[in-house]
Structure 1
Amino acid sequence: MNVQAYAVRDEQRPPDNLLLQVIQRGLRSQPKRLPSWLFYDEQGSALFEQICEQPEYYLTRAEIALLGAHAGEIAKVLGPDVRLVEYGSGHAIKTRLLLEHLATPVAWVPIELSSAPLRLSMQRMEQHFPELPIQPLTVDFTRSLRLPVSPRVPRRTVVYFPGSTIGNFDDREAAQLLRKMRGEMGDNGGILIGVDLKKDKAIIEAAYNDRAGVTAQFTLNMLARLNRELGCNFELGGFCHRAHYNAMAGRIETHILSRHEQRVCVGRLQVLFREDEAMLVEYSYKYSLEDFAALAATAGLVVQHVWFDPDQMFSLQYLARAN
């Protein structure tokens, strides 16, 4: 495998004492909340892959259809000799569709929090692109990054952020992340980012409430993880998943609801949950083209190109530095 500087630093979770402090602080908040990165332990990552296969979850199918229709055009915009730095690479299925059209890519730099899916994606990519230099980073992409030295000088560094993960950040956090990308791409670089679009409420809500209940399992796995890793005593049957679309805010709001009044031990903290009390675990923002252009502008970026899937449910947008 053509892998350079592969030193795995598994930062999937902070040390136990810090993790406990983060969770206790969130459960003392009003309303209660837990950080969404807790979703993605090994079990959570596997469940998310199942979510992507559910008939209601349009996002992955729409993005793959988009790349099927426009990957060649996207590659022409990016140009030859690109270093592709990918945030949250996962299994990199969409990345392969893009790399198939890129001319003489310099390197692929996949960044993934969990080392297991990163290794798997690298193995798959090596099969398709045996000559492609791969320079993985097992870190949290929201933190300051030190990108590896490229095997040769790239014409352009492109930060690739597929999926709709930018929607999991509020406006302030998203602008901060875009500014960070702007620094990493350099003066001549760009950002290729997936942006989910506003659409009918029923379509959006169905995507986060699949009939098979996989998303509910994914959400409640967060509590199972805390039981495993911190010795908490969440009774999973005492909680349920709820996701609804707040049209005014333009976002899906995912909560874990307590089915009845109960107390849970989190370290030495006794946490009271009232019946029907909602604990926030994730936002997922949806954008109009105008919304996202305005967000990009706050980070010193301008939208140069937009591509849509055939049903115009989803977009890939190419951002460059504003003048």
Structure 2
Amino acid sequence: MSDFLMTRTLDEHAAETALRHDVLTGLTRSPKVLPPKWFYDARGSELFEEITRLPEYYPTRAEREILLERALEIAAVSGARTLVELGSGSSEKTRHLIEAMPALDTYVPVDVSESALKGAAQTLLAAHPGLRVHALVADFTKPLRLPESPGPRLVVFLGGTIGNLLPPERAVFLADVRAMLSPGDALLMGTDLVKDEAVLVAAYDDAQGVTAEFNKNVLAVIDRELGADFHTADFAHVAVWNREHEWIEMRLRARSDLLVKIRALDLQVPFAAGEEILTEVSAKFRQAGVRRELAAAGLELTHWWTDAAGRFALSLSVADGIGTDGREGRADGTGLTVPAPDTAA
């Protein structure tokens, strides 16, 4: 792959160190918590791909619908010559954008998985031999130094992953993204939208039990990597809608009193029957809220696209006061689309 470069910004032991820290701090606090990134070993990634094909799980299909319908418009509005994808994984959805961008020079996928980056690059370069790929092995939740590449750049953050961050974490993340952007650059972000509670809960608690297995996979990861003796059968998968915060919470609930040993940490973790580990928060959004959070980070929402059913949204935003053509002035002075105010309650 002559047009492929890879830059590693993570220490080779960074994942192990982070896992130790997250398990130690998360399982010795009350209530107990584990970050959702530890779902995704090879088995977890397979399970998530299976989830995206379930009838109950609409976000992947809804986002793909928008990308297929709007890719040419996104390409035209952004004018991007460099596409930066945060949490790129297999880069599958991004291919719709790449195919719509004839002027695209460079693709910069950012992911913690070196193998995922190499596999995606191989596939993309076979389909687009003129494309340059400069992959970053990095944690996208930390400030990034992007490689030199031609502008304008379009930074994309898809899949509704922004919802896995708590509000203070989202504020830091969006401020870091704002710091990446030069005049003319833009952010394309996917957000799952608030909808009927039954639809939301079903998406995270499917009838086939795939999401339950995915949730419990975090325990299998800890068993393997840290020598723990979790047994997945000892925990029940729970998905609930938090009306106050408008997010789904995935939890693991102990079926009985337990004492779990984690040898690598020399740690014993007691569980009372019914005690839960919070493993994921998945926030759902309204347009007005997205606009406010972007504005607080110095970003101005200029385009808002949804699927036909209004389940999911892609938003395009630019550095406040700078349009995608690099000129100073409000978005409505640059010919960009300014969405109507959100009137949802």
Residues 24-103 of structure 1: pairs in structure 2 closer than 5 A:
24-79=24-79, 81-103=80-102
Residues 122-161 of structure 1: pairs in structure 2 closer than 5 A:
122-150=121-149, 153-154=150-151, 156-161=152-157
The change in CA–CA distance for 1:212 and 1:2 in structure 2 (over 3 A counts) is farther
Is contact 1:307–1:316 with CA below 8 Å preserved after alignment?
yes
Q: Deviations over 1:150-195 (max 9, x none)?
A: 2xx32x1111111100000111111111111111122321100001
Cα separation, 2, equivalents of 1:212 and 1:168 = 23
Letter in 2 for 1:213: G
**Unpaired segments ≥5 residues, structure 1:** none
The change in CA–CA distance for 1:3 and 1:220 in structure 2 (over 3 A counts) is farther
* Greater RCO, CA 8 A, separation 6+: 1
What corresponds to 2:245 in structure 1?
249
Cα separation, 1, equivalents of 2:13 and 2:43 = 14
How far is 1:13 from its partner? 6.8
The change in CA–CA distance for 1:9 and 1:301 in structure 2 (over 3 A counts) is closer
What corresponds to 1:173 in structure 2?
169
What corresponds to 2:289 in structure 1?
291
Q: TM-score of the superposition, structure 2-length normalised?
A: 0.88
Is contact 2:82–2:153 with CA below 8 Å preserved after alignment?
yes
SS of 1:104 mapped into structure 2: coil
How far is 1:7 from its partner? 4.3
* Aligned CA-pair RMSD: 1.7
SS of 2:94 mapped into structure 1: helix
Letter in 1 for 2:47: L
Cα separation, 1, equivalents of 2:53 and 2:138 = 26
Q: 1:314 aligns with which of 312, 315, 324?
A: 312
Residues 204-219 of structure 1: pairs in structure 2 closer than 5 A:
204-219=200-215
Letter in 1 for 2:97: L
Is contact 1:41–1:114 with CA below 8 Å preserved after alignment?
no
Q: TM-score of the superposition, structure 1-length normalised?
A: 0.94
The change in CA–CA distance for 1:18 and 1:111 in structure 2 (over 3 A counts) is closer
SS of 1:280 mapped into structure 2: strand
How far is 1:135 from its partner? 0.6
Cα separation, 1, equivalents of 2:71 and 2:4 = 27
Cα separation, 2, equivalents of 1:26 and 1:303 = 35
How far is 1:276 from its partner? 0.9
SS of 2:133 mapped into structure 1: coil
Cα separation, 2, equivalents of 1:172 and 1:234 = 31
Cα separation, 2, equivalents of 1:273 and 1:113 = 31
Is contact 1:11–1:139 with CA below 8 Å preserved after alignment?
no
The change in CA–CA distance for 1:261 and 1:175 in structure 2 (over 3 A counts) is same
Cα separation, 1, equivalents of 2:142 and 2:286 = 28
Single out whichever of 120-129 and 297-306 deviates more from structure 2: 120-129
**Unpaired segments ≥5 residues, structure 2:** 322-345
The change in CA–CA distance for 1:5 and 1:124 in structure 2 (over 3 A counts) is closer
Single out whichever of 15-24 and 94-103 deviates more from structure 2: 15-24
Residues 1-12 of structure 1: pairs in structure 2 closer than 5 A:
1-8=1-8
SS of 1:167 mapped into structure 2: helix
Single out whichever of 138-147 and 160-169 deviates more from structure 2: 138-147
How far is 1:9 from its partner? 6.2
How far is 1:211 from its partner? 1.4
Give the ranges of 4+ consecutive aligned residues of structure 1 lying more than 4 Å apart after TM superposition.
Answer: 7-13, 15-18
Is contact 2:254–2:276 with CA below 8 Å preserved after alignment?
yes
How far is 1:22 from its partner? 2.8
Letter in 1 for 2:74: I
Cα separation, 1, equivalents of 2:238 and 2:12 = 25
Cα separation, 2, equivalents of 1:311 and 1:226 = 39
Give the paired residue count. Answer: 319
What corresponds to 2:327 in structure 1?
none
Q: Deviations over 1:240-285 (max 9, x none)?
A: 2111111221000111110110100123221110111111111000
What corresponds to 2:324 in structure 1?
none
